[in-house]
Every structure is written in C-alpha cells, then in structure tokens.
Structure 1
Amino acid sequence: MGTFWRDNLNPDDDGQRIAITRGEWIDESRDDRKIPYKLYVPKETNEPLPLVIWSHGLGGSRDGAGFLSRFIAGHGYAVLNIQHPGTDLSLWVGKPGHPWDAIRAVKLTDDVKIARFYDVEHVLTRLDALAEEANISLDLNNIGFSGHSMGAITTQVMAGQKFRGKSYKSGAFKAFLPYSQMPCRDGSENPYDDMSAPLFMMTGTEDDSPVDGYDYTARQEVFKDMPESTTRYALILKDGDHMVFAGSRGQLEGYDKIPEHERIIKIASLAWWDWHLKGDKKAHEWLNNDLEDWSEGEASLEHF
C-alpha cells in the first residue's frame, strides 16, 4: 500500500462529519414535474464547495451510492443526488415479484429518457437558491457530473454523447464520471465525436447490464471511440459487479469483494474530482502512477 496525494486520507474514513438535506423541486415548465434531491455537505466549512451531481440508474433513487456521496462530501465537496421520475424506484416499489422483473417489463419511451436531460438543465437553475437554503457557498465554476448505468448515459449525454442524433451537451460541467458507462445503441452517427471534456469511466469484469445485457467489453466502446484529444480514463475492477457502483449489496452470490471495491471506487473518484475540480496535480499523478499498485491487482487503468 502506498501513500495518497492527501495527508491522512483513509478509504475507510468518510472524513468530515456531513449534513444531509432532502428536498424536491417542481419544474412548472414541464407539467409540474417533481425532481427529488438529496444534498450531502461537510458540516463545518466556510469555503466555497465544488459540486458533484449524481444521477441514478434505472429503478434507482436519490438514495443510491450513499457510500460514495458521503465519502466525497466528507472530503470537501457538495454532492447532489437527483432523482428522475419515470425511471426511478416507482417502476418496482409495491409491485409483485423481483424488482428486476418489474423493471425489465417496462417499455421506456424516448420522452421518458430525454426528460432526464431536462431534469439536469432545471437543477442547474436551482443551485444558487439551494446554496442559500443550505447555508453553504458553492463553487459553481467547478461542477462535475456523474451517474450509474442509465445515470451514466445521462452523464455521457451531458458530456456531448448524442441521443437519437441530437446533442444535449451542457457546458456547465468541468469533468464527468460515468459508472458502468453505456455504449450508444440508438442509431446516432458518430455519437461520441463531441465529447471534449475530461471523462473517467469505471466498470468491472462482471459488469453485465441487468436490462440490456452489455458486458464490460461493450462498455469500453465509449472509451475507445471518443476523440483522441479528449482526456479520458477507464478503470476496470477485477470481478466488479454492475451494482457495486450504486452501493447495492448481495447482488452476486459469493461476491465477497464489495468492501474492497468500494474503497477503490471512493479513492479513485476523489482523486479524479480533486484533479479536475480542485486543480490538485498530486491527485493527477497519483491516478497515473499509484492507483493500480495500491489496488493490489483489483483495478486496471487505461488513460489518454
């Protein structure tokens, strides 16, 4: 085990004490669409906080990836988990059978998928008021976007990946981190050509999609087909399961690497955000030179 780029950094310690606020926004321009959110912030800070927004996967909610949100917030960030009606836990809660059976039975329209992109647009208009309500200062010049699975699609689209041939790219974000990145299969021509901001993709060798059936090799298409000029990193967890990135436990029988993989996800994510949202060159160097050795063979990293 090597040292980290920050003093006294411990992957098993969430850092500072955090405060959690839950709320809901109403987008009147879209038939009073509700957008629930969950905000994680350090309890004691007077410094402007860089912001990381997180988007859940199909059937998820604002409560997903709590292990990751707590860790990032506890190390000097505001983390905002947003929830997307129509692709959230309402697809399975209260319905008979296994949740994944209920989720797979749903036929999602393009409108439901596109609504996620407009959710992000609306959330960006609420950030000043959110900071005032939470009594914090947000560094809105340093915002990152992340998400898991379907939330990874949302992340990639915000970064410039086309959806049905159209761009919904946002210039509000400095860097992106999709977990279980998703290859484009919607017929868009050259879908990744406009992805110019830094991206860090994370997947695992057992990261098979519960809905679409993609394995981790298909997910690597995004990494390989982005413009050569784009800063892009790809981490692959040995035996890493699809749901470990969302903080779900017990998805695989005999999957005993959850604590170990969560540590890697937390540390690698923090290094990425420290590099891009805080300008920490040591975090960049640690990712390049030390992450693989520190993981003791559990993570492999490619980058350009």
Structure 2
Amino acid sequence: MRRRSLLMAGAGGLLACTGTWAREEPSPREAEVVQPWRAEEWDWVDEARGRDVPVRLYLPSAEVNHPLPLVLFSHGIGGSRRGYSYLGQHLAAQGFASLHVQHVGSDRRLWTGNVFQIFSRLQDAARTEEARARAHDVRFALDRLLLERPQVVDAQRIAVAGHSYGANTSLLLAGAAIPGEPQPLADPRVRAAVFISAPPLHGVPAPERALAAIRVPSLHITATDDVIRVPGYHSTAAERMALFQATGSALKRLVVFAGGSHSVFTDRGGTGGVMANPQIKQATKEVVSEFLRGVLDVGSVDHLNAWAERHQDLLAHWAAA
C-alpha cells in the first residue's frame, strides 16, 4: 500500500463529489439560445490498451481560420466528459479548444450498481493503475485529436487542467516525478497547467521532490472550505496551498476563494453557498482563461492583478511565486 500515491483525489472526490455529474446537459431554455460555443463528441478506443476513451470537444461556434490553443481537461472521480461544462463553454467562447476526456475506470458509472459496494468501487478507481491509465487516456486523446483534426489545434499551445482526481492527473502530465514509475507520465507537449482542488500526493515518498519536477507555468485554485472528508484521504485547503509552494514552476499563481466547497468547482449549483457558487464559478472561469491566454499568447500574467481586484470580495488569498 506504500504506492497509494496516485490515489490522490481518488477517494478525494469520492463522496464529496457524488453529484458532480448531476447536471451535464443544458436546460431547454439554454439550448434555445444561440451560444458562442459548440461541442462535438467521439467515442474513441485506445486499441493498444483495450480501453474506451470518450471525449467531448468544445469549440468556438464561429468558424476560425487558424489553429486554436487547446486545453485538455480531466474530470474528478465519478465524472464524465460532459462535466465541468461551464469551463469548457467559457474557454470555447474565449477562443480556446477544450477537450474533456472521460476516464472509464473512474467515471460516473461508479455510482451505479449495488450501493453497498460503492466504497469498494471507489477504492478500486483510486488505485495507482487507474491513476496511471488516466494520464495515458489524456495522452491518447491528444494524439488522436492532433491526427484527426490538425487544422483545429495549435500543437505549440497546449495546456492541461483538472479538478480533484483530475488535478492529480494533470500533475502527472505536467511533470510530477513519481518514484518507481516504469515510464514517464509527463507529456512534453504541455506548456501550462491548471490544478483545481488538487489533493496531496498520498503515499509518494518525498512528494515535494516529485512536485519540484513540474516546470511549466501553473495556476492553483482552491477555497478555504475545499475539504475532502474521506478516511485515509482527508485533505484541506492548507495542503493544496502547500502543494502550490512545492511545485517547481517558476511562474505560478495561487487563488484561494473564501468559503466555497470541494465541489463548488464542478457543474453543481448550490454547493458552497447559493450566492457564492455562481460567483466562484464566474471568477474561476475568468482566471483560468486569462491565465492561459497570458502564458500561451503573451508570455506574462501580470494582467491577473486586475482580475484579483475585480474579485477581491471573493478572495481569501491571492499569491504569486
């Protein structure tokens, strides 16, 4: 059990995020409105691993004649490609392509079946083998997208992002060096990373050293009440802040919202406060797109200070490297 390492959000998002996928389709009223984004879905299969890799790609609704910066998004445990739609839609509206990858070993199907076996299923989903498979899911999806739609994506402007278990998947892809891994999980094509509610590296010897290997610019997002309350995997915002400090990125920013919850960053409404929930979501999608635009296009994120001023009433802490 020493290498429980990549469990991370595994149990982390466990019961805390049981409703993260509850609302994954637009309401009829939303569907009638002309949106600045569109979405496409594919049910890909990684033949080499015998594993399904469903994906959902968000794009600007208007046709563009140039490749777009790409965000690869990894969901938390029990989620799907249709989750975190508020982020995918916003990124597409801002001129990004956002590819949301579904991880079949730790997706929404965990919530189906015998209710008395749910914790066992969640523990299986949090094993190192699944954590490793998740990273390979994202790498495969990127390979496939670049092969099939090379005109859509700018291969020089690729970022990875994720929430909870997905944030840990993103840590691996961004360069976290896990001792004993048979092959590197980092993808050198990743130029920036966004870690939302990233749990600590449970079971990893010298986790600070593993995190120090991450060199790409990184944005870390949490909230003061972002707590995972699962025996063996308990973690708090303080540990997410420590993870920020340990990450080796020369350019990095930390956002800590006041209040909130672990699942406030999902599509769920109400969690973290009826009033605060939509405000935190709005601020989150703004800072994600503005950070990535700064890193991938401008080479500076100094403009984020203006974002912090706009949302100062929501913030408990805002820090730079």
TM-score (norm 1): 0.85
Match of 1:215 among 230, 236, 245: 236
1:68 aligns with 2:84: no
Matched, 1:177 2:194: yes
**DSSP-derived class of the 1:278 partner:** helix
Question: How much does 1:204 deviate?
Answer: 0.4
SS at match of 1:147: strand
Q: Which segment is superposed worse, 68-77 or 163-172?
A: 163-172
Aligned to 1:41: 59
1:125 aligns to 2:148 (yes or no): no
How many Å apart are 1:249 and its aligned residue? 2.0
Note the C-alpha offset of 1:222. 1.2
Q: Whole-Å Cα distance in 2 between the matches of residues 97 and 272 of structure 1?
A: 43
Which residue, 314, 318, 321 being the options, matches 1:298?
314
For 1:168 and 1:72, the matched residues in 2 are separated by: 26
Match for residue 158 of structure 1?
A: 173
Compute the displacement of 1:42 (Å). 0.8
Distance 1:98 1:297, change over 3 A: farther
CA positional deviation for 1:186 = 2.0
Q: Provide the alpha-carbon RMSD of the alignment.
A: 2.4
Is it true that 1:250 corresponds to 2:267 in the alignment?
Answer: no
CA distance in 1, matches of 2:298, 2:34: 20
Task: Return 160-169 or 211-220, whichever deviates more.
Answer: 160-169
CA distance in 1, matches of 2:123, 2:144: 34
> Where in structure 2 are the equivalents of 1:224-263 lying within 5 Å?
224-227=245-248, 230-252=250-272, 254-263=273-282
Counterpart AA for 2:171: Q
Distance 2:55 2:130 in 1: 18
- Structure 1 CA distance, aligned partners of 2:117 and 2:285? 29
How far, CA to CA, are the matches of 1:66 and 1:60 in structure 2?
Answer: 11
Mean Cα displacement is larger for which, 202-211 or 35-44?
Answer: 202-211
Deviations 1:102-135 (A, max 9, x none): 7656563221221111112212221223426xxx
CA contact (8 A) 1:234 1:302 kept: yes
Residue 81 of structure 1, aligned match among 95, 100, 108: 100
Q: What residue number does 1:113 align with?
A: 131
After TM superposition, give the deviation of residue 69 of structure 1 in Å: 0.7
What does the per-residue CA deviation read over 1:78-124, in whole Å, with 9 as the maximum and x for residues that have no partner? 1000011111111113554898x676565632212211111122122
- Rate the CA distance shift 1:95–1:210 in 2: closer, same or farther, 3 A: farther
Q: Of residues 62, 71, 91 in structure 1, which corresponds to 2:110? A: 91
Query: Partners in 1 of 2:134 and 2:61 — Cα distance?
Result: 30
TM, length-normalised to structure 2: 0.81
C-alpha deviation, 1:185, in angstroms: 1.8
**C-alpha separation between the residues in 1 aligned to 2:313 and 2:120?**
37
* Secondary structure at 1:57 match in 2: coil
* Shift in alpha-carbon separation, 1:255–1:77, aligned structure 2, 3 A: same
1:142–1:303 CA distance, 2 compared to 1 (3 A): same
**One-letter code of the match for 2:243?**
V
1:148 matched residue in structure 2: 163
Residues 130-181 of structure 1, C-alpha deviations (whole Å, 9 max, x = no match): 426xxx5211110000000000001111111133543422111110001102
**Native 8 Å contact 1:165 1:187 kept in 2:** no
Higher relative contact order (CA 8 A, sep 6+): 2
Which of 201, 207, 218 aligns to 1:199? It is 218
The alignment covers a number of residue pairs equal to 281
For the residue of structure 1 that corresponds to 2:90, the secondary structure is helix
Q: How far apart are 1:278 and its partner, in Å?
A: 2.0
The answer to whether the 8 Å contact 2:132/2:185 transfers is: no
Q: Do the aligned partners of residues 102 and 242 (structure 1) sit closer, same or farther apart at CA in structure 2, a change above 3 Å counting?
A: farther
Q: Is the 8 A contact 1:146 1:177 kept in 2?
A: yes
**DSSP 3-state at the match of 2:302:** helix
Between the aligned residues of both structures, percent identity stands at 27
Which amino acid in the other structure matches residue 232 of structure 1? Answer: K
Which of 38-47 and 200-209 deviates more? 38-47
| Pair 1:110–1:232, CA change in 2 (3 A) | same
Residue 6 of structure 1 aligns with which residue? none
Task: Summarize deviations over 1:38-62 as a string: whole Å, max 9, x none.
Answer: 0000121222111001000111111
